[in-house]
Amino acid sequence: MVLSYLKKISDVFYLGGQYELDDTRIVRIQTGGNLDTNAVPGKNSGVSSALGVAADWDTRDNILYPMHGRYYRVSFMPFLGSFGSHYKFTRLNFDLRQYFPVWGSHVLAYQIYVNLITGEPPFYRMSAFDGPNLMRGYPRRRFRDRDMVAFQAEYRMPLFWRIGVAGFAGAGQVAHRIGDVTIGDMKYSV
């Protein structure tokens, strides 16, 4: 669960707080698997809870189907025992998007996404490719580690009536440290 309250500071800038709560229960562990044989943080279930800050810069013309503009979100979330978290870690997140009108209703969009985690997060709260939203085509949370960087671009165009088509391409990587990310180890999606 994520709750955000951001106050409008100017026409395009929003600043506020964010609360996250995750109560994960591991109900079955595969015999001989990673959780059974290794000391993995989170293998015994637990609560992750954080109270942090978030800022948005939003110049999009429409939040549901933007044709032009920018959307930048930065958030800092400390997961601490004082917030009820069983795990102590921090997450710094950058989500940068831009939309360009190309011709008529054709739109080129791109996103740069960076997630940085320090401390000892449970394995299920690590950075990961996330199904239909980030690095489409990979199974949800198939690749995970502390830090992640991803870039994706999309070209959208109408076909007829309210039907359209989109082509996309992305490149991303998860690593223990952001400094370990290399071009040669990138995963790609098209």
Percent of the chain with pLDDT over 70: 99
Which helix (H) or strand (E) segment holds residue 153: the answer is strand 147-160
Mind listing the pLDDT tens digit for each residue in 62-83?
999 899 999 999 999 999 999 9
Q: State pTM to two decimals.
A: 0.89
| Choice between 48 and 135, residue whose per-residue pLDDT is larger | 48
Tens of pLDDT along 140-183? 777 889 999 999 999 999 998 889 999 999 999 999 998 888 88
Coil, helix or strand at residue 118: strand
Distance set, CA 22 to CA 1, 2, 18, 114 (Å): 6, 9, 13, 21
Residue 110: strand, helix, or coil: strand
CA distances from 35 to 40, 42, 128, 135, 168 (A): 6, 9, 18, 26, 35
What per-residue confidence (pLDDT) applies to 165?
94
